[in-house]
A and B are shown apart, each in its own frame.
Chain A
Amino acid sequence: MIEFKLPSLGADMEEGKLLEWKVKPGEVVKRGQVIAVVDTSKAAVDVEIWQDGTMFEQVVSIGETVPVGTVLATLLAPGETPEQAALQKREVPPARPAPKDVTAPAAAVPLATTLAQRKPVSPAARKRARELDVDVDKLPGTGPHGAVTVEDVEKAGARPVPPPADRHAEMRKAIAAAMSRSKREIPHYYLSETIPMQRAAEWLARENEKRSVTERILMGALQLKAVALALAKAPELNGFWRDGAFQPATGVHIGVAISIRQGGLIAPAIHEVDKKSLAELMRALSDLVSRARAGSLRSSEMSDPSITVTNLGEQGVEAVFGVIYPPQVALVGFGRLETRPWSENGQVLALPLVTATLSADHRASDGIRGARFLAELRERLQHPEEL
Chain B
Amino acid sequence: MNELEIRTRVLEIIKSIAPELEEGELRPDRPLRDQIDLDSMDWLNVLVALHEKLHLDIPEADYRKLVSLDNLVGYLREKLAQRAA
Tell me the A residues contacting B by CB distance below 8 Å.
205, 208-209, 212-214, 216, 218-220, 261-262, 285-286, 289-290, 314
CA distance A186 to B81 in the complex (A): 60
Q: Which of B31-62 contact A (CB under 8 A)?
A: 37, 39-41, 44-45, 47-48, 50-51, 57-61
Is B22 engaged at the interface, CB distance under 8 Å to the other chain?
no
Residues of B within 8 A of A (CB): 18-20, 37, 39-41, 44-45, 47-48, 50-51, 57-61
State which of B20, B40, B57 has its C-beta within 8 Å of the C-beta of A261. Answer: B20
- 8 closest residue pairs by CB, A with B: A314-B39, A213-B51, A208-B60, A213-B47, A289-B41, A213-B57, A218-B40, A214-B48
Query: A216 with B60: in contact, given A261-B18, A261-B19, A262-B20 (CB under 8 Å)?
Result: yes
- A-B contacts, 21 listed (Cβ < 8 Å): A209-B59, A212-B51, A213-B50, A213-B51, A213-B57, A213-B58, A216-B60, A218-B40, A218-B41, A219-B40, A220-B40, A261-B18, A261-B20, A261-B37, A286-B41, A286-B44, A286-B45, A289-B41, A290-B45, A314-B39, A314-B40
Given A205-B60, A214-B51, CB of A220 within 8 Å of CB of B41: yes
B34: nearest chain-A partner, CB-CB = A316
Sample of 15 further A-B pairs with CB below 8 A, known A212-B57, A261-B37, A262-B20 = A205-B60, A209-B59, A209-B60, A209-B61, A213-B50, A213-B51, A213-B58, A214-B51, A216-B44, A218-B40, A218-B41, A286-B44, A286-B45, A289-B41, A290-B45
Chain B positions within 8 Å of A212 at CB level? 51, 57
Chain A minimum-CB-distance residue to B38? A314
A285 to B60, CA, bound (A): 19
Complex: how many Å from CA A216 to CA B20? 26
Q: Which A residues are in CB contact (< 8 Å) with B48?
A: 213-214
Cβ-defined contact, B40 with A213, below 8 A: no
Given known A205-B60, A212-B51, A212-B57, contact A218–B20 (CB-CB < 8 A): no
Report how far A262 CA is from B37 CA in the complex, Å: 12
Cβ of A216: which chain B residues have Cβ within 8 Å of it?
44, 47, 60
Separation in Å of the B45 CB from the closest CB of chain A?
Answer: 8
- A312 nearest CB across to chain B (Å): 10
B45: chain A residues within 8 A (beta carbon): 286, 290
- Tell me which residues across on chain A come within 8 A of B19, comparing CB atoms: 261
In the complex, chain A residues whose CB is within 8 Å of the CB of B20: 261-262
Residues of the A chain whose Cβ atoms lie less than 8 Å from the Cβ of B41: 218, 220, 285-286, 289
Tell me the complex Cα distance, A205–B63, Å. 12
Set of chain A residues within 8 Å of B18, measured between Cβ atoms: 261
Nearest neighbor of B39 in chain A, beta-carbon distance: A314
Which chain A residues border B44 with CB–CB below 8 Å?
213, 216, 218, 286
Q: A290–B48 Cα gap in the complex (Å)?
A: 13
In the bound complex, what is the Cα–Cα distance between A205 and B61 (angstroms)? Answer: 8
Please give, as numbers and ranges, the residues of chain A lying within 8 Å of B61 by CB-CB distance. Answer: 205, 209
The complex places the Cα of A290 from the Cα of B44 at a distance, in Å, of 12
- Give the Cβ gap from A151 to chain B, nearest Cβ, in Å: 32
A39 and B61 alpha carbons, distance in the complex (Å): 42
Residues of B within 8 A of A220 (CB): 40-41
Residues of B within 8 A of A219 (CB): 40
Bound-state CA distance A261–B20 (Å) is 8
Q: Closest CB-CB distance, B82 to chain A, in whole Å?
A: 17
Which among B39, B41, B60 has the greatest number of chain A C-beta atoms within 10 A?
B41
* Cα(A216)–Cα(B59), bound, Å: 10
Complex Cα distance A209/B57, Å? 11
Residues of A within 8 A of B50 (CB): 213
Cβ of B65 to closest chain A Cβ, rounded Å: 15
CB distance from A363 to the nearest CB of B (A): 34
Q: Identify the closest chain B residue to A216 (Cβ).
A: B44
Q: CA of A290 to CA of B45 in the docked complex: distance in angstroms? A: 10
Q: How far is the CA of A285 from the CA of B45 in the complex (A)?
A: 12
Query: What residues of B have a CB within 8 angstroms of the CB of A208 in the complex?
Result: 60
Q: Which residues of B contact A286 (CB under 8 A)?
A: 41, 44-45
Residues of A within 8 A of B58 (CB): 213
